[in-house]
Structure 1
Amino acid sequence: MKRSLVILATAVLVAGCSGGGGGESAPQEEGGAPQKVTLEWWHLSTADPLKTLWDKRAKEFMAANPHVTIKATVLENEAYKAKLTTITQSGKAPDIFATWGGGVLKQQIDAGLVKDISQDVADVLPNFTPASLSAYQVDGKTYGLPTDIGLVGFWYNKKLFKQAGIDEPPTTWSAFLEDVKKLKASGTIPIALAGKEKWPGHYYWAYLALRIGGLEALKQAETDHDFTKPDFIEAGRQVKALADLQPFQKGFLNAAYSSPDGQAALVSNGKAAMELMGQWAPATQNDAGKGLGDDLGFFKFPAVEGGKGSIDDAFGGGGGLAVGADAPKEAVEFVKFMTQMDKHSEAVEAGGVLPVLKGEESAVKDPNLKEVAESLASASGYQLYLDQAYPPAVGAQVNDSVAELFAGTKTPEQVGAEITEVAKSEG
């Protein structure tokens, strides 16, 4: 899912975030009963199955802990990021909040807003796969537990591909561009893109940089903050080569992702042949439109001929839950409750998330999600979303600059220079 952030939190939300935190131990009322605790839980699972499942989890936890009340704030991606940034800029954090980990979480940790839960979760850490935990661990300490992991790839309509004379999904970038031409010639919109939200567009530039420069190029950029190197410029040129084919729907620069007329709905309703999106795509498509059923397929982002990267290098991320620095102990207990095998596997089986716990693979029922899980299992390398791997200002600039590249208002060279300028100022 994924997404920088602005100022617009209500006094109620600001007060609510601190109101949930009451220290490490719950005081006792007269008679020995635990004092009542309210936990503020912020997440962005606005579509089923997770919307319903997460509500169910909260009710189960409250039933088992009558002194706890969980107040959920559920927002879509961009609204969530904006509101979370606003509240963290005020020096507070929700008791429990969804996180993608990486550079954004590290900044929150450095600001003293996130609880180190290493000791509290030491007993369950061995249950998680190392890849799923990595985004939430900093300097050997654990600041969150994963609820999902996945990767970005192309979700496509098999029927529309067949109508365009495409028998198999492309495995190379040049073949992909040719298939885009075939789809357009057949009268189909080749690709749906939520240009207004920007983060879906950054996937193209990031993946092309990964395929052209290899994983090392993106890792090195975290250190030297230089995005003007030839591999990044070439990634921009290939984004432009795609944009020049005009493969997106009319008005894509103002299109949202999950709205009834947005990116997911266009694919779901058979109006566009594909979208580049994360593992949550099928659930969002079903929520936004009719759904493709057996006509929905998945393929990896193609390899770029002559590139240093492999088609098996994965780009993506997952989701996790972090705990605010001032949250009561019940907040950590709820995070552990959410990631118990029996609870979490229900979400996996429903197709809402992918396995983060060892031995959970058998719970994946959807054939496309099985393919995603297998791609992850065989990945030769893993790169977190750039707007999460890098500091927030750098990630925001990536999204903004790539959006201008798609719009034709910036060149590949200008994009590299703009991101470099922000990265060096942040570094």
Structure 2
Amino acid sequence: MRLSAIILVNAIMKWVKGMKLHLLAVGAALSLVLTACQTQPLTSVPKKQPKEQTLTWIHHFDEEGARKWLEAGTQLFTQRHPSYTFTLTGVDGGNYMSLLRTRAISNNMPDMYMIDNLESAQDLIRTGYALDLTNQSFLSQIDERFLNGVRTANGHIWALPIDVNGAGVVYNKEAFAKAGILSPPSTWEQFLEACKALQNVGIIPIAAGYKDSWTVVWDIAADLLANQHAENRNWIADIEAGRTSFAEDQIHFKDILQRFGERLSYVNIKPFETDWNQAQLLLAEGKAAMIINGTWTVDGVKSKNPASNLGLFAFPYSNDPHDAKFGLKSTGGIVINPHSPNKEAALQTLALFASKEMGTIFQTNKKALSVIKGLPSDFDPTYVELDETYIQTGRTYDWTSLPTDFVNQDLQKVFVNALTRFILDRTHNAEQCIQELDQGFDRIRKSSK
């Protein structure tokens, strides 16, 4: 019994000793953990910054206000989405579409680009370089009237329209006042009388910047568009397709040329040595009284002289004042390249540019009517006059479906070259110009068969 008790006591002592060692080990481990927590700083794992992406955007804006609008919008997008930046590239309007087509052939299209109208961009749409925007929610912020210009016959929308463009005459009110002209002319006879009155007081009646060749076409665009509308014909498309000729004179093209020839005696000297910016400066400084072109001219002139007191009136192509209507349309806009790796960011950019916020910035900087709903029309005195005189009185026409340029660039070159020779010809022979145009167009059509 005594031996058994001794054995039991020894076993208990071993167990107690083992437990002490175990507790000491646990305690030591716990102490190490607590010490580590107290003395070692926590290591923070830095968040991985998203890689910066650059969206490329090609445009043809020459006017300072338009460029400011683009810069303001892209900078605002970058502020809200810091991982995205933009490279904005401006290209001369005369070479713009040719550059886009060259880039499309080499598969080097930008993420985003501008177009003036769907007609001239049909090849880019057909070859898959325009994203279909039809179901994008941001289009609900655009005035429905101005979506027709970016919608094809099948109902698809290919661009975000940005502004309402007009074709007519921009004039300097102070120059008119100096010549004693109390109101803008509404007939062709009154227009010529105004030119003479301006010339008599030493003011250039019409500023021309033919050094930039696109302005040659736009000098007759208001007359050309008004007559296409009056005859209800897409004459440019008919000519291009060979369905009619210049000689057939279906929209009185000979009369258009003769009016052009009559007013060429009232343009500045050496117009082919004067570029578009210099022509706008003449109007801004009151040295010239008028520019016959698009409403974007207002932005260009006011960028050079914000104090310019400008007005707008319809080109009076006849002696019936009821024919003097101001052509308005919205046919171009911002296009997204569907092959862009930044397509989603580009769509978010369009959503921003379709907002009232950007519409206000647009009207403030570009001095043009925005297509975005709910914006005021009294943002600039020049457009107040346009609104009151023409828009509110119904004296406008829609030239959405009426192009000013030929899609085929070879035909367009023939057109510009013939008009250039017509200007340089001191007799301004309309019949000779028409003959040259028909022969040149026939030659191009035959060579393309």
TM-score normalized with structure 1 length? 0.80
State the match for 1:251 in structure 2. 270
Deviation larger for 59-68 or 268-277: 59-68
User: Which amino acid counterpart does residue 405 of structure 1 have in structure 2?
Assistant: F
Match of 2:399 among 382, 392, 395: 382
CA displacement at 1:401 relative to structure 2: 2.6
Residue 100 in structure 1 maps to residue 113 in structure 2: no
* Alpha-carbon spacing, 1:46–1:207, altered in 2? closer, same or farther (3 Å): closer
Match of 1:285 among 301, 312, 323: 301
Residue 399 in structure 1 maps to residue 416 in structure 2: yes
- The answer to whether the 8 A contact 2:69-2:366 is kept is no
Match of 2:338 among 319, 325, 331: 325
What is the 5 A alignment of 1:50-89?
Answer: 50-78=66-94, 80-89=96-105
| Identity percentage of aligned residues | 21
- The answer to whether the 8 A contact 2:211-2:275 is kept is yes
Match of 1:301 among 315, 319, 332: 315
State the match for 1:338 in structure 2. 353
Residue 411 in structure 1 maps to residue 425 in structure 2: no
Residue 219 in structure 1 maps to residue 234 in structure 2: yes
Give the secondary-structure state (helix, strand or coil) at the position aligned to 2:420.
Answer: helix
State the match for 1:264 in structure 2. 280
2:158, 2:216 → 1: CA distance? Answer: 29
- The answer to whether the 8 A contact 1:190-1:272 is kept is yes
Residue 196 in structure 1 maps to residue 214 in structure 2: no
Deviation larger for 105-114 or 377-386: 377-386
- The answer to whether the 8 A contact 1:349-1:363 is kept is no
1:130, 1:215 → 2: CA distance? Answer: 25
- The answer to whether the 8 A contact 2:208-2:279 is kept is yes
Report Cα offsets for 1:87-113 as digits up to 9, x if no partner.
234344211011112321112112322
2:142, 2:373 → 1: CA distance? Answer: 6
* Alpha-carbon spacing, 1:411–1:111, altered in 2? closer, same or farther (3 Å): farther
Give the secondary-structure state (helix, strand or coil) at the position aligned to 1:330.
Answer: helix
Match of 1:145 among 144, 156, 160: 160
1:208, 1:370 → 2: CA distance? Answer: 23
1:225, 1:107 → 2: CA distance? Answer: 23
Residue 314 in structure 1 maps to residue 331 in structure 2: no
CA displacement at 1:247 relative to structure 2: 0.8
* Alpha-carbon spacing, 1:396–1:336, altered in 2? closer, same or farther (3 Å): farther
- The answer to whether the 8 A contact 2:301-2:308 is kept is no
- Structure 1: give runs of 5+ residues left out of the alignment: 1-30
* Alpha-carbon spacing, 1:216–1:342, altered in 2? closer, same or farther (3 Å): same
* Alpha-carbon spacing, 1:277–1:358, altered in 2? closer, same or farther (3 Å): same
- The answer to whether the 8 A contact 1:253-1:407 is kept is no
User: Which amino acid counterpart does residue 173 of structure 1 have in structure 2?
Assistant: W
1:212, 1:39 → 2: CA distance? Answer: 41
- The answer to whether the 8 A contact 1:215-1:381 is kept is no
User: Which amino acid counterpart does residue 325 of structure 2 have in structure 1?
Assistant: D
- The answer to whether the 8 A contact 1:312-1:381 is kept is no
1:91, 1:387 → 2: CA distance? Answer: 28
2:94, 2:425 → 1: CA distance? Answer: 23
CA displacement at 1:333 relative to structure 2: 1.8
* Alpha-carbon spacing, 1:268–1:55, altered in 2? closer, same or farther (3 Å): same
* Alpha-carbon spacing, 1:40–1:221, altered in 2? closer, same or farther (3 Å): closer
1:418, 1:135 → 2: CA distance? Answer: 32
- The answer to whether the 8 A contact 1:364-1:370 is kept is yes
Would you say how many aligned residue pairs link Structure 1 and Structure 2? 387
CA displacement at 1:286 relative to structure 2: 2.9
* Alpha-carbon spacing, 1:34–1:417, altered in 2? closer, same or farther (3 Å): farther
Structure of larger gyration radius:
2
User: Which amino acid counterpart does residue 270 of structure 2 have in structure 1?
Assistant: G
What is the 5 A alignment of 1:134-213?
Answer: 134-138=148-152, 139-212=154-227
1:115, 1:334 → 2: CA distance? Answer: 14
Match of 1:240 among 261, 265, 271: 261
User: Which amino acid counterpart does residue 329 of structure 1 have in structure 2?
Assistant: E
- The answer to whether the 8 A contact 2:146-2:329 is kept is no
* Alpha-carbon spacing, 1:134–1:404, altered in 2? closer, same or farther (3 Å): farther
- The answer to whether the 8 A contact 2:234-2:403 is kept is no
- Structure 2: give runs of 5+ residues left out of the alignment: 1-46
Give the secondary-structure state (helix, strand or coil) at the position aligned to 2:114.
Answer: strand
TM-score normalized with structure 2 length? 0.76
Deviation larger for 177-186 or 139-148: 177-186
2:384, 2:407 → 1: CA distance? Answer: 29
* Alpha-carbon spacing, 1:399–1:277, altered in 2? closer, same or farther (3 Å): same
- The answer to whether the 8 A contact 1:195-1:255 is kept is yes
User: Which amino acid counterpart does residue 421 of structure 2 have in structure 1?
Assistant: E
- The answer to whether the 8 A contact 2:328-2:397 is kept is no
1:134, 1:393 → 2: CA distance? Answer: 28
1:335, 1:414 → 2: CA distance? Answer: 48
